[in-house]
Amino acid sequence: MDFLSYLINGISLGSVYAIIALGYTMVYGIAKMLNFAHGDVIMVGCYIVFMMMGKAGVPPIVAILGAVVICTVLGMGIEKLAYKPLRRATSLAVLITAIGVSYFLQNSALLIFGADSKSFTSVVNLPNLQLAGGKLTISSTTLVTVIVCIVIMLALSFFIKKTKAGQAMLAVSEDKDAAMLMGINANATISLTFAIGSCLAAIAGALFCSAYPVLTPYTGSMPGIKAFTAAVFGGIGSIPGAFIGGILLGVIEIFAKAYVSSQLSDAIVFAVLIIVLLVRPTGILGKKIHEKV
Amino acid sequence: MKSLKKLLSVALVGVMCVSVLAGCDSNTASGQASAGAATETFKIGGIGPITGGAAIYGTAVMNGAQIAVDEINAAGGINGYQIEYKFEDDTHDAEKSVNAYNSLKDWGMQALVGTVTTTPCIAVADYTAQDGMLEITPSASSTDVIVNDNVFQVCFTDPNQGTASAQYIGEGNLATKVAVIYDSSDVYSSGIEATFVKEAENQNFEVVAVEAFTADSKTDFSTQLQKAQSAGADLVFLPFYYQEAAIVLKQAKDMDYAPVFFGVDGMDGILTLEGFDTTLAEGVILLTPFAADAKDEATQKFVATYQEKYNEIPNQFAADAYDAVYAVKAALEAANATPSQTAQEIGNLAIPAMTTITVNGITGEMTWQATGEVSKTPKAVVIKDGVYVAMD
């Protein structure tokens, strides 16, 4: 029974990583840049949900919608102001800019909301699920997180494969210049990618803080790094890869804590990552990139 | 609302300072013949975080000490001289704390009540040692704080908290099987854990699980709790701060695990965490030297004054600070100090005097060892209906 509980905890943690990793992987796949500010957009999303639910007293679903709208606008704004002017710059310059945006968001939150921790009220207000005569309890937050994660992954896959805008994204990710020659508005496509990524960040934020309810301006940074790891683990740029990477990372982390050592869990997670990358340098589902000669 | 309160308290302190200064001015006008302006009052400084993540501690200390200063001044001061009190913010940052210390020294500080948190306190203690100044920290609990002879603590040291917690659980027969969850990346937490587990061997309960987490993985405690539950622990010892404890309590509830949770002084503050559902903390026990609902007259008077002035029930940090000011008073009286002496002159007399005094404060009857450690009896409080209630 313990094993099952650990597994469920692992999947729960992993699905939060997975939703965040989806945002990383989308942006990387299409814009070919690491958006390190992604974790901080999550934090902004958490604060907006917290403020709307706690201060304005709106129902959770309205608060999440509000956060989605604000984060989407924020994500597009960041893209337009900070990343778009650097479209032709080296990838290192963009990376440093992303780190800068990350610090900017953290310190702005520090200024606006203060450094005091806030206790987040769960957006999921359902009874816990009892199985096996009460021996196994699955919290409603876990269930909702896993379901939302799967729905988002399927919706994103559908969007990319079946819609015109999704096809445009695929084309831009394959070859931006060729896509532009074919009449695709690459800038609008990249903007849309950031919009979707930030919208996912808002949802991820609400779910993350529901499961782990203490909110500070630095809330986003650690899960952001873990989710980035998950995205690399699953194969960065691949949507199912981000999902699998996230779930695996969560499960490995919890199992390492449960069966090896609670102190060494992070070391074990990253050791597994190194081994996977040695065997499969592009991650589990990553595409092999052929070097052009 | 909270920031408004903070602003208000800062403004209040400002008003106090101004009024004290005003008093000082009139004194000099009348007593010019005897001594200069600077020698008329004892200058006691305070340092701690009143903004930032640890603001809850620093604000409590600032306010608690202010109440003691006001009381002492109203009762005639120390050796007949009034106290001037000034508090500087360090945002729980070692460098800012040293800067604050230097600016207080420029102001003419003769004894320091502070600093509030451990890391800045270790940094400042090196400077006070060089200057030979008497330093009494209300709340920095690490043994590293008191390595210098001039520093004394009002709170228990970390190792003492672990030992005292184990004794309290054992003597009160609170549990037969105990699990410990601690932060292995934090000196405070791992220090308490080590002495707790050691002392547990001498007690009538069994430690069935010791689980760690680190600063990088302090979001998910479900595994540690699961292991505690599987091991059959009926009490879980949580020697860390309230921010993480809030997550632990929430996750334990999610998995329908309801042992007794036992915390130490870092747990203090959980009830004032913004947005926290206090029903989660129902029945949590914490070891603290101070219970706001204690029936003795001194505590009741302190709590009433604090509530009236700051609109909040004081926590143990406020109480420790209040006692720290009285400890300074006792030491200065034992040393027959006068405001005309320098900080070092006062220190030379008052520091040895610390081991001879007994302060009967609101956190208990205290005596000090030359090492700087305090001796007093720990009390425990339990959270009932969202407030601390004394265990006995």
Cβ neighbours of B230 in A, within 8 Å: 2
Q: Provide CB contacts within 8 A for A174, sequence distance 6+.
A: none
pLDDT at B25: 43
In this structure, of A246-255, B19-28, B91-100, B128-137, the range with the lowest mean pLDDT score is B19-28
Dist. CA B364–CA B377, nearest whole Å: 7
Distance from CA of B233 to the nearest CA of A (A): 15
What letter would DSSP give residue A96? H
**Token digits for B135?**
């330093």
List the single residue in A with minimal CA-CA distance to B1.
A55
Max Cα-Cα span within chain A: 63
Percent share of chain A, pLDDT over 70:
96
Q: What is the mean pLDDT of chain A?
A: 87
Cβ neighbours of B227 in A, within 8 Å: 258
- Report which of residues A127 and B204 the model is more confident about: B204
Q: Does A223 touch chain B (CB under 8 A)?
A: yes
Dist. CA B111–CA B113, nearest whole Å: 7
pLDDT at B26: 41
- The separation between the first and the last C-alpha atoms of chain A, rounded to the nearest angstrom, is 55
Q: How far is CA A287 from the centre of its chain?
A: 20
pLDDT at A40: 93
In this structure, of B132-136, B195-199, B293-297, the range with the lowest mean pLDDT score is B293-297
Instruction: Give residue-wise pLDDT tens across range A253-269.
Output: 999 988 888 888 888 88
Q: Does B57 touch chain A (CB under 8 A)?
A: no
Among the partner-chain residues B224, B230, B275, the one whose CB lies closest to the CB of A118 is: B275
CATH number for the domain whose boundaries are B2-155+297-377: 3.40.50.2300
Position B20 confidence tier, pLDDT thresholds 50, 70, 90:
very low
Domain B159-288 matching CATH 1.20.1250.20: the answer reads: no
Among the partner-chain residues A114, A121, A257, the one whose CB lies closest to the CB of B3 is: A114
Q: How many CA atoms lie within 13 A of A223 on its CB side?
A: 37
What letter would DSSP give residue A84? G
Max Cα-Cα span within chain B: 77
The yes-or-no verdict on residue B13 having pLDDT over 60 is no
In this structure, of A110-119, B107-116, B258-267, the range with the lowest mean pLDDT score is A110-119
B111 touches B42 (CB < 8 A): yes
A127 touches A139 (CB < 8 A): no
Mean pLDDT of B256-281: 86
Cβ contact A117–B243 (<8 Å): yes
Per-residue three-class SS string for chain B:
CHHHHHHHHHHHHHHHHHHHHHHHHHHHHHCCCCCCHHHCCEEEEEEECCCCCCHHHHHHHHHHHHHHHHHHHHCCCECCECEEEEEEECCCCHHHHHHHHHHHHHHCCCEEEECCCHHHHHHHHHHHHHHCCEEEECCCCCHHHHCCCCEEECCCCHHHHHHHHHHHHHHCCCCCEEEEEEECCCHHHHHHHHHHHHHHCCCCCEEEEEEEECHHHCCCCHHHHHHHHHCCCCEEEECCCHHHHHHHHHHHHHCCCCCEEEECHHHCCHHHCECCCHHHHCCCEEEECCCCCCCCHHHHHHHHHHHHHHCCCCCHHHHHHHHHHHHHHHHHHHCCCCCCCCHHHHHHHHHHHCCCCEEEECCEEEEECCCCCEECCCEEEEEECCEEEECC
Instruction: Give residue-wise pLDDT tens across range A185-211.
Output: 988 999 999 999 999 999 988 988 888
A63 touches A48 (CB < 8 A): yes
pLDDT at B152: 94
Distance from CA of B286 to the nearest CA of A (A): 20
pLDDT at B153: 93
Instruction: Give residue-wise pLDDT tens across range A22-70.
Output: 988 888 888 888 888 999 999 999 999 999 988 888 888 999 999 999 9
* Domain range annotation of chain B: 2-155+297-377, 159-288
pLDDT at B262: 94
Dist. CA A2–CA A11, nearest whole Å: 14
Chain A residues 78-97 within an 8 A CB cutoff of chain B:
none
* Domain range annotation of chain A: 18-131+140-220
Mean pLDDT of B78-82: 91
Tell me the β-bridge partners of B180. B210, B237
Dist. CA B105–CA B101, nearest whole Å: 6
The yes-or-no verdict on residue B35 having pLDDT over 60 is no
Cβ contact A116–B216 (<8 Å): no
Distance from CA of A179 to the nearest CA of B (A): 42
**Token digits for A193?**
């990618």
Dist. CA A104–CA A84, nearest whole Å: 17
Give the gyration radius of chain B's Cα atoms: 21
The yes-or-no verdict on residue B170 having pLDDT over 70 is yes
Mean pLDDT of B212-234: 88
Candidates B299, B390, B392, B344; CA nearest to B111 is B344
Position B55 confidence tier, pLDDT thresholds 50, 70, 90:
confident
Instruction: Give residue-wise pLDDT tens across range A171-189.
Output: 888 888 888 898 899 889 9
Position B381 confidence tier, pLDDT thresholds 50, 70, 90:
confident
pLDDT at A262: 82
Candidates A166, A211, A175, A219; CA nearest to A193 is A166
Position A105 confidence tier, pLDDT thresholds 50, 70, 90:
very high
Dist. CA A132–CA B139, nearest whole Å: 47
Phi, psi (degrees; rounded to nearest 5) at B88: -115, 145
The sign of the CA dihedral A229, A230, A234, A238 is: negative
pLDDT at B39: 52
**Token digits for B325?**
């000011």
Dist. CA B3–CA B309, nearest whole Å: 16
Q: What is the mean pLDDT of chain B?
A: 85
